[in-house]
Amino acid sequence: MFKNVLIVGLGGFMGSIARYLTYILIDKRFPSIYPVSTLTVNVIGSFILGIITGFLLKNNIPNDTMRLLLAVGFCGSFTTFSTFAYENLFFINQKLVPTAFIYIFVSLTLGLLAVFAGHWVGKSIL
């Protein structure tokens, strides 16, 4: 049990650093009122999670270490639903309701497409 906690923690450590670096790179290059960096990490994280789950399913890997490290730890800390929710609250409080709905629609659509595409890649190519 303690080993699994450490594995998830290691993945979370790597994922949170990757998220922070992504924010720095995107926000400095593309300053915008739109939360481009959050959208980016959530879509990329969905794609990575799809790859991991597809790969594990295809290869019938019984070892839980890879899933805990990458899916739970890394993807869990790399992606950010709470920031996504807060950004939508900000849009709504600023009376930018259409912007919030567009952001919600784009995030959900791209996130779902990314996880399906990643799952296909993980099952078919890897």
Binding residues: 76, 79
- Pick from 29, 15, 126: nearest CA to 68: 15
Q: Return d(Cα 116, Cα 118) in angstroms, integer.
A: 5
Q: Which residues contact 36 (CB under 8 A, 6 or more apart)?
A: 26, 27, 30
Annotated binding residues for Na(+), written as ranges, equal 76, 79
Residue at 38: amino acid letter? T
CA dist 40 and 47 (Å) reads: 11
Distance CA 99, CA 36 (A): 13
